[in-house]
Amino acid sequence: MSAALEAKLGRAWKKPPFISNPIFRWTLTIGTIAYIIVAFWGIDVNIDRIIRGWARGWEFIKAFAEPDFTSRWKDIYKGIYESIVMTVASTVVGIAISIPIALGAARNIAPLPVYLICRAIVAISRALNEIIVAIILVAILGFGPLAGFITLSFATIGFLAKLLAEDIENMNKVQAEAIKSTGASWSQWINFGVQPQVMPRLIGLSMYRLDINFRESAVLGLVGAGGIGGTLNTAFDRYEFDTVAAILIIIIVTVMFLEYLSGVIRARIQ
Amino acid sequence: MPMTEKNGQKIWQVRTTNAQLIRWAAWLVGLAVFLFSWKEISDNTLWFMMDNVGEVVADIAGRATPPRWSFITELGKPIWDTLAIATLGTIFALVMAVPVAFLAARNTTPSRLIVRPFALLIIVSTRSVNSLIWALLLVSIVGPGVLAGLIAISIRSIGFCAKLLYEAIEEINVVQVEAIKATGASPMQVMVYGIVPQIMPAFAGIAVFRWDINIRESTVLGLVGAGGIGLALQSSLNVLAWPKVSLILLVILVAVVIGEWVSAKVRGAII
């Protein structure tokens, strides 16, 4: 820029900062940097162990080039089968329980006491990590897919009921009002005024949750709650990286397929 | 809308008879699949263990209460480690996710045929493997400890952050980019003044959102030996020290709730 123009404009243009308050901006920047340095300090890195482990890491990467599906195929098959069964059952049960809770957690449908109870259920379900729920349930119910099934159903409630309730709260009032003005009963009002409006979202969310539940079912086995995770854990413990690679490839392909399927279904509905 | 006439009366229906039959068939198949799945679970369950579930629950609850409050002094370091895993993991993930996102977005990728599929592959493969599995793998490579958890969380988050970010990049307003280009700006300047300011709010939102999720995930990473409060949980569970377990669960719950509150506040301030 020429000096004359500079003089006319007064001062050069500067990009406005992302946070406008300078005090807040500088405390945030300095605080973040200080925290990062201190946090790094707390991590002890055992260089010797990493160098020794490096060979193992390389072996693992090589294993992806030639995954071994055959030698443990029976275990892999059983694990995947159990994972799918758990996913299907828990998604269906989870949706069935979520729908009434979502109706209760929508402020424009439910009276205040019901609303508070349903919101509390949703909050509890969302705050508890799946793995922790699974550990507790395995302690109570013993090893096996039942613990995983209940865990996933419970987690589905928090996810689905919350998002569905938000959709119900954002629905078009006029349509619901129109049904009400025909003298419809409460169930007719829900069935003809509310349900058609939220149905596309419900189907989309259900497909999405099916996808998530499969992914989660792959790790629940690590704590003994059934599914492919148990097989995976055993393979890791035996350092059979080629079997691990095979299992991971199966999980990734299944997840990709489910994601594609849910994408197609959601695109067709909307 | 299909209509049938019966005894001179018109009856309206939502669907034709065929459409209705197809729907019922679909429901029937769905129900059959569900019942079959349920039967499989039921067959693999030891139902005799259910006979005294009530007693077991009461027993564990009795042992777990009251939590051993004095144990909290020993939880300072583990919870600090958990927060470090979540925060540093998110930062690392963002540093790696930004280039991946720019390579994956249709409007900024250097090559749609070669680079974009590769970037998408990184996104899908890091996203579909759970952080616990990454942790399991990294523990066997770099040894147990915080470092394994940190790397696991970073890798798992790359795909998530990059996916949301590249969607944000694809939705930017082209006019603004065009305007910057028209001033004769270099490609780098177009990036900094045309694209980055538009995706900055989305970026900050994604960062905080993922940080919140990472706090939840890093609390359990210790179960496979990857550091943090999960390690304390695992060792207490192994010796069935239920009062300690209940205290740890309480601490985790508080950490998760605080994380969610902070994330909601920050996102509310940005958007």
Interface test mutation site (partner B, options A77, A141, A203, A211, max chain B beta carbons within 10 A): A141
The separation between the first and the last C-alpha atoms of chain B, rounded to the nearest angstrom, is 44
Pair A214, A141 in one domain:
yes
Cα-based distances in Å from B45 to A82, A107, B31, B48: 12, 39, 21, 9
A218 found inside a domain: yes
Q: pLDDT tier at B158 (50, 70, 90 boundaries)? A: very high
- Which residue in the block uniquely carries the two structure tokens 């942790």? B135
Instruction: Verify whether the Cβ–Cβ distance A248 to B129 is below 8 Å.
Output: yes
What pLDDT digit, counting tens, does each position of A222-263 carry? 888 888 888 888 888 888 888 888 998 888 888 888 888 888
d(CA B226, CA B122): 23
Burial A160-181 (b: 16+ CB within 10 A, else e): bbbbbbebbeebeeeebeebee
Pair A83, A33 in one domain:
no
How buried is residue B57: exposed, middle or buried, by Cβ count under 10 Å (0-12/13-18/19+)? middle
Nearest to B123 by CA among B144, B148, B140, B102: B102
Pair A228, A111 in one domain:
yes
Pair A27, A98 in one domain:
no
Taking contacts as CB-CB distances below 8 angstroms, the residues of chain B near A39 are 83-84, 87-88
Instruction: Verify whether the Cβ–Cβ distance A39 to B84 is below 8 Å.
Output: yes
What pLDDT digit, counting tens, does each position of B196-240 carry? 888 988 898 899 889 988 998 898 888 888 888 888 888 888 888
- Number of folded domains that form chain A: 2
Taking contacts as CB-CB distances below 8 angstroms, the residues of chain B near A128 are 253
Q: Give the lowest-confidence range in A240-244, B12-16, B97-101.
A: B12-16
Instruction: Verify whether the Cβ–Cβ distance A89 to B143 is below 8 Å.
Output: no
d(CA A242, CA A248): 10
A54 found inside a domain: no
Residue A15: pLDDT over 80: no
Burial A42-76 (b: 16+ CB within 10 A, else e): ebeeeeeeeeebeeebeebeebeeebbeeebeebb
A119 found inside a domain: yes
Instruction: Verify whether the Cβ–Cβ distance B142 to A49 is below 8 Å.
Output: yes
Residues B147-152: what's their mean pLDDT? 90
Interface test mutation site (partner B, options A88, A188, A215, max chain B beta carbons within 10 A): A88
pLDDT at A6: 66
Q: Does residue A124 sit at the B interface (CB-CB below 8 Å)?
A: no
Which residues span the domain enclosing A19?
A: 12-41
Q: pLDDT tier at A153 (50, 70, 90 boundaries)? A: very high
Please tell me the CATH code under which domain B77-270 is placed.
1.10.3720.10
Work out the mean pLDDT of chain B and round it to a whole number. Answer: 86
A141 → closest Cβ in B49, B146, B256:
B49
What pLDDT digit, counting tens, does each position of B159-209 carry? 999 999 998 998 888 899 999 999 998 888 888 888 888 898 889 889 988
Taking contacts as CB-CB distances below 8 angstroms, the residues of chain A near B253 are 127-128
d(CA B157, CA B147): 15
Give the minimum alpha-carbon distance from A193 to chain B in angstroms, rounded to a whole number. 15
d(CA B161, CA B155): 10
- HSE-CB for B58 with a 13 A CA cutoff: 4
What pLDDT digit, counting tens, does each position of A19-41 carry? 778 888 888 889 989 888 888 88
CATH number, position A179: 1.10.3720.10
Taking contacts as CB-CB distances below 8 angstroms, the residues of chain A near B78 are none
Instruction: Verify whether the Cβ–Cβ distance B49 to A142 is below 8 Å.
Output: yes
In this structure, the number of other CB atoms found within 10 A of the CB of residue B135 comes to 34
Please identify among residues 171-210 of chain A the ones whose CB lies closer than 8 Å to any CB of chain B.
none
pLDDT at B216: 87
pLDDT at A5: 65
pLDDT at A103: 92
pLDDT at B165: 92
pLDDT at A154: 94
| pTM (predicted TM-score) | 0.82
Question: What sign does the dihedral B241-B246-B247-B252 (CA atoms) show?
Answer: positive
Amino acid at residue number A64: F
Pair A144, A249 in one domain:
yes
A51 found inside a domain: no
Provide the 3-class DSSP secondary structure of residue A52: helix
Element (H, E) at B4: strand B3-6
Interface test mutation site (partner B, options A33, A86, A125, A140, max chain B beta carbons within 10 A): A140
Residue B113: pLDDT over 90: no
Taking contacts as CB-CB distances below 8 angstroms, the residues of chain B near A43 are 84, 145-147, 150
CB B215 within 8 A of CB B78: no
d(CA B235, CA A159): 30
Taking contacts as CB-CB distances below 8 angstroms, the residues of chain B near A259 are 124, 128
Taking contacts as CB-CB distances below 8 angstroms, the residues of chain A near B146 are 42-44
What pLDDT digit, counting tens, does each position of A50-85 carry? 888 788 888 888 888 888 888 888 888 988 999 999
Asked if the interface predicted TM-score (ipTM) of this complex is over 0.90, the answer is: no
CB B263 within 8 A of CB B181: no
What pLDDT digit, counting tens, does each position of B44-88 carry? 877 777 777 788 888 888 887 787 888 788 888 888 889 999 999
Give the minimum alpha-carbon distance from B243 to chain A in angstroms, rounded to a whole number. 14
Pair A163, A236 in one domain:
yes
Taking contacts as CB-CB distances below 8 angstroms, the residues of chain A near B256 are 127, 129
Percent of chain B surpassing pLDDT 70:
99
CB A118 within 8 A of CB A196: no
